[in-house]
Amino acid sequence: MCGGGLLSDEDRAWLRRYMNRRKANGLCVRRANALLALDKGRDEEDVCDFLEIGGTMLRGWLSAYKEQGVSFLEMRAYSAREGHLTREQEAALKAHLRDRPMRDTNEIRAHIRTAYGQDYSVSGCGKLLHRLGFAYKKPDRLPTQADVQEQRDFIERYNALQNHLPEDEAIYFGDAVHPDHQVRPAHGWFYKDDKPAVSANSGRKRVNIHGALCLENFDAPFVEVEKVNADSTIALFERLESRNKDKRVIHVILDNARYHHAEKVREWLSRPRCKIRIIWLPSYAPHLNSIERLWGVMHKYVTHNKFYKTYKEFTEAILRFLRETIPKEWKNFRDTVTDNFRVISAESCKILT
């Protein structure tokens, strides 16, 4: 706690006049605010929270004022003492974090305090990380069994087909999804003093959907089934044919699930005048299936931070998304559900250990 009477009457009046300048430097105004607040007897911790600065920076400003008076406000040479790291320390911190990633700014602030003796606020640490080239993101899950050349070959074949697709042909991505009747906690902006929580369901029931997606018009036919198997695969194919009577060929991109290769499915596909042509995805490459991205959007709309008391309510919400939300709002998420595919390999990623 800093007691009142920190400033002389002359300095107090000068700082107030400085605060009223039309073109006062923002950093200098913060320094003046800090001194005036301490002069009124405000607690150092409260001042730091209000100005979003670290304790080391505030104590440095106070020390500089005691040594140099109010003239320190506009001294740029003082910046190296404001709780900031030197260029050499920033380079060392950058190298350290690239080798040993940390999950949140609290860990990083603790490391900076221990290694360099500097105290950063949460916002100040975030700004430092952005300046050093870091971003807050989640690692991709890398399927170690995925073949790089098979991914390249698939992308090349798909692009060639897409770029030269006749008007009487269509491309669909197919897949099954099994959303559980359970809320999915997700990040969001909440008031800092609130402790957000979501109710949990005790049941284990899930909805089984076998669906397809055409990126050309966002047509998304699906079948709701008791079990995803060869019968649901055939039912989906029949729905695709019934919705595309003007098409001669319907290309369906599928993963290598066992039921997609079932003998019953092969027999159905061998029928005379069957429109369905299967394009197989490379093994362990769900990132090359656009409908997987649609399932992610579905969870964002339906299950993230949303509680459904009954399984019926949950099922209705899933089906409502598929039947109503996609046709009405697909333009809102077409930039997310795309075919901008890329090859994933260990060489292109930084593997965490």
Q: Are residues 211 and 339 in the same domain?
A: yes
* Torsions phi, psi for 93 (to 5 deg): -65, -45
For the beta carbon of residue 116, count every other beta carbon within 10 angstroms: 16
| CATH code (residue 300) | 3.30.420.10
Same-domain status, 168 and 28? no
The verdict on 127 and 206 lying in the same domain is no
Is residue 237 in a domain?
yes
Determine the residue type at 210: H
Whether residue 341 sits in one domain with residue 208 = yes
Same domain, 225 and 173: yes
- What confidence score (pLDDT) does residue 218 get? 94
pLDDT computed for residue 100 by the predictor: 87
Burial readout 234-245 (b: 16 or more C-beta within 10 A, e: otherwise): bbbbebbeebbe
Placement of tokens 């993963």 in the chain:
255
pLDDT of residue 346: 65
In a domain, residue 208? The reply is yes
Same-domain check for residues 37 and 159: no
My answer on whether 335 and 211 are in the same domain is yes
Q: What pLDDT does 82 receive? A: 41
pLDDT along the chain (353 residues), means of 10: 69 84 74 88 87 81 81 55 71 90 87 86 85 82 76 95 95 96 81 81 85 95 96 97 96 96 97 96 92 94 90 94 94 92 74 61
Q: What is the pLDDT of residue 339?
A: 94
Q: What is the model's pLDDT at position 52?
A: 80
Q: Quote the pTM value.
A: 0.64
93 and 155 belong to one structural domain: no
Could you give the CA distance from residue 27 to residue 83 in angstroms, rounded to a whole number? 13
- For 213, the domain range is 148-184+199-348
* Cβ-contact 301, 321 below 8 angstroms: yes
Question: Do both 245 and 313 map to the same domain?
Answer: yes
Rounded CA-CA distance 324/236 in Å is 19
Q: Residues 62, 98: one domain?
A: no
Please count the structural domains in the chain.
Answer: 3
Clarify whether residues 161 and 253 are in a common domain: yes
Residue 207 Cα distances to 102, 227, 239, 302, 333, angstroms: 37, 9, 19, 13, 23
Same domain, 248 and 172: yes
pLDDT of residue 79: 42
Whether residue 324 lies inside any domain: the answer is: yes
- What's the CA gap between 89 and 84, in Å, rounded? 9
pLDDT of residue 324: 96
